[in-house]
């Protein structure tokens, strides 16, 4: 019988390798980097040694050449140990590297992606702005053509990997902007490197509720000079690139939710088996049984939905918005609820950082906001379903 979660021996081997890596390397550092709000760059580069920073990229640029299911496996396994570290991985491997691999020219791919796959360069994607989050087409960052270069002006907010340290920019970004005079729907995409004139770090955003080990920053463009050859695709035609990449982003964010939920279930299940109260272990009490059973059922429902969606996703073509929105809509809230139940089962211990679920609970909340809010998913899904007579 086909295993939807591990459809090939290669997928099974990938899961086993990443689970071992997460337990050995990622888990031990998670709490400390959460407390210090620091990005673990040496650990991140170990993912490059494993071939994971280019998991969906072709071998010609140093990638692993794998599919959407492999990307889901990677994000589920890593997030079970450290969702914040995994979020930085997602921004680099999915939002930057996969985006450029699908939409860039051969010259652009060969210039940037081998170093992205090794971890030598840390990448990100700049879409959200101080006044344009869910209304992404309301972005105000503007580009104007001047001879052999463009000049960018504007600011981007909430950019993952925007700062590698407190004062140091990430290495390279895909930046969405509107060329001067273009219509609202006509968005362009540019490669902008650290060191370009007029490109600077506005502020590193600290004291976040969760995802504290993943750097988030404001990036500023003040007459930023970008070579013409750094335009990705054609002027005004990046909207389709944006939408296609959002589908993969939402799928892998949903996969992160699975990792959070699975780890929370494992922790509360073990605690309920071991902790004795009123002469019995906690798993003898109906209230606790409900928390564990409902959490497992919801996790497995979400897991089936995520892997089914991944199995049908073509990384080079859009057309999966309904279910990429759907899996994130369901799984983000599912993970938060499961982590909340785990905290309840552990009681006072669940509220303490050393028992992990407190951190998982804080990290889970971001998944209801980032990569598309729950309300945005409601809007998108309702619009898509309006043209459907029969769901199946």
Number of folded domains in the chain?
3
Q: Is residue 2 part of a domain?
A: no
Q: Is residue 53 part of a domain?
A: yes
Q: Is residue 1 part of a domain?
A: no
Same domain as 369, residue 282: yes
- Tell me how far apart the alpha carbons of residues 124 and 164 are, in angstroms, rounded to a whole number: 11
Same domain as 115, residue 129: no
**Residue 70 sits in which domain range?**
9-122
| Mean pLDDT of the 335-363 span | 96
Q: pLDDT class for 5, splitting at 50, 70, 90?
A: very high
| Mean pLDDT of the 20-46 span | 97
- Tell me how far apart the alpha carbons of residues 370 and 155 are, in angstroms, rounded to a whole number: 18
- Tell me how far apart the alpha carbons of residues 272 and 289 are, in angstroms, rounded to a whole number: 9
* Lowest-confidence region among 8-17, 128-137, 197-206, 277-286: 128-137
| Mean pLDDT of the 223-251 span | 95
Which pLDDT score, from 0 to 100, does residue 265 have? 98
Asked if 167 and 201 touch (Cβ cutoff 8 Å), the reply is: yes
Token pair in block for residue 236: 């005004």
Which pLDDT score, from 0 to 100, does residue 1 have? 47
Same domain as 184, residue 67: no
Q: pLDDT class for 358, splitting at 50, 70, 90?
A: very high
Q: What is the mean pLDDT of the chain?
A: 95
**Strand, helix or coil at 164?**
coil
Does 183 qualify as catalytic in the annotation?
no
| pLDDT at residue 231 tops 60 | yes
Q: Is residue 224 part of a domain?
A: yes
Q: Residue 98: enclosing H or E segment and its boundaries?
A: none
Which pLDDT score, from 0 to 100, does residue 391 have? 85
Q: pLDDT class for 317, splitting at 50, 70, 90?
A: confident
| Mean pLDDT of the 3-19 span | 96
| Mean pLDDT of the 294-304 span | 98
| pLDDT at residue 322 tops 70 | yes
From 249, 298, 358, 368, the catalytic residue: 249
* Lowest-confidence region among 98-107, 133-142, 286-295, 345-354: 133-142
- Tell me how far apart the alpha carbons of residues 361 and 336 are, in angstroms, rounded to a whole number: 6
Instruction: Output 93 or 165, whichever has higher pLDDT.
Output: 93
DSSP H helical segments within 22-163, as ranges?
27-36, 41-49, 68-79, 83-90, 99-103, 106-118
Nearby residues of 314 by Cβ (< 8 Å), 6 or more positions away: 320
Domain boundary among the residues 188, 211, 232 is at 232
Asked if 256 and 83 touch (Cβ cutoff 8 Å), the reply is: yes
Token pair in block for residue 279: 């002469």
Same domain as 208, residue 187: yes
Closest CA to 265 of 245, 291, 242: 291
CATH number at residue 152: 2.40.110.10
Same domain as 243, residue 375: yes
Domain boundary among the residues 122, 142, 167 is at 122
Which pLDDT score, from 0 to 100, does residue 165 have? 82
Same domain as 349, residue 256: yes
Same domain as 223, residue 128: yes
Same domain as 213, residue 94: no
Task: Please tell me the pTM assigned to this model.
Answer: 0.96
Q: pLDDT class for 292, splitting at 50, 70, 90?
A: very high
Domain boundary among the residues 217, 232, 247 is at 232
Same domain as 152, residue 100: no
Q: Is residue 362 part of a domain?
A: yes
* Lowest-confidence region among 246-250, 299-303, 315-319, 355-359: 315-319
How far apart, in Å, are the Cα atoms of 57 and each of 62, 130, 156, 194? 7, 31, 26, 23
Asked if 134 and 372 touch (Cβ cutoff 8 Å), the reply is: yes
> What is 173-234 written as a DSSP string?
EEEEEEETT--TT--EEEEEETT-TTEEEEEE--S-SS-TTS-EEEEEEEEEEEEGGGEESS
| Mean pLDDT of the 275-298 span | 97
CATH number at residue 53: 1.10.540.10
Same domain as 254, residue 223: no
- Tokens 């969760």 — which residue? 210
Same domain as 140, residue 130: yes
Closest CA to 39 of 286, 205, 273, 252: 205
Residues of the chain above pLDDT 70, percent:
100
Same domain as 380, residue 247: yes
Closest CA to 216 of 208, 226, 228: 208
Closest CA to 249 of 346, 353, 377, 347: 377
Which pLDDT score, from 0 to 100, does residue 247 have? 95
| pLDDT at residue 269 tops 50 | yes
Which pLDDT score, from 0 to 100, does residue 136 have? 83
């Amino acid at each position: 019988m086909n295993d939807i979660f591990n459809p090939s021996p290669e997928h099974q081997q990938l899961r086993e390798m990443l689970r071992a890596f997460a337990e050995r390397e990622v888990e031990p550092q998670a709490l400390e980097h959460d407390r210090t709000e620091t990005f673990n760059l040496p650990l991140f580069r170990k993912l490059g040694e494993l071939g994971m920073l280019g998991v969906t990229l072709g071998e010609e640029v140093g990638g692993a050449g794998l599919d959407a299911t492999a990307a889901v496996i990677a994000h589920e396994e890593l997030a079970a140990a450290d969702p914040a570290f995994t979020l930085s991985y997602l921004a680099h491997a999915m939002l930057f590297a996969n985006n450029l691999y699908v939409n860039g020219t051969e010259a652009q791919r060969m210039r940037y992606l081998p170093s992205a796959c090794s971890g030598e360069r840390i990448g990100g994607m700049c879409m959200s702005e101080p006044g344009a989050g869910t209304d992404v087409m309301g972005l105000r960052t503007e580009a104007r053509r001047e001879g052999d270069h463009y000049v960018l002006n504007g600011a981007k907010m909430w950019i993952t990997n925007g700062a590698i340290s407190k004062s140091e920019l990430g290495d390279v970004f895909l930046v969405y902007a509107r060329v001067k005079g273009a219509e609202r729907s006509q968005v362009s995409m540019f490669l902008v490197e650290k060191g370009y004139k007029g490109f600077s770090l506005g502020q590193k955003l600290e004291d976040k509720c969760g995802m504290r080990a993943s750097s988030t920053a404001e990036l500023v463009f003040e007459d930023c000079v970008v070579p013409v050859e750094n335009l990705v695709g054609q002027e005004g035609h990046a909207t389709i690139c944006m939408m296609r990449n959002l589908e993969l982003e939402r799928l892998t964010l949903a996969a992160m939710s699975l990792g959070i939920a699975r780890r929370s279930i494992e922790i509360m299940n073990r605690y309920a088996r071991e902790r004795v109260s009123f002469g019995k272990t906690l798993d003898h009490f109906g209230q606790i049984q409900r928390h564990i059973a409902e959490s497992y059922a919801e996790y497995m429902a979400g897991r089936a939905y995520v892997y089914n969606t991944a199995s049908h996703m073509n990384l080079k073509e859009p057309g999966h918005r309904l279910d990429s929105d759907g899996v994130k809509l369901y799984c983000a809230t599912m993970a938060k609820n499961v982590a909340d139940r785990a905290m309840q089962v552990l009681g006072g211990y669940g509220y303490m950082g050393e028992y992990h679920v407190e951190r998982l609970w804080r990290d889970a909340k971001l998944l209801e906001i980032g990569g598309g809010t729950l309300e945005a998913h409601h809007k998108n899904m309702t619009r898509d379903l309006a043209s459907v007579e029969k769901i199946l």
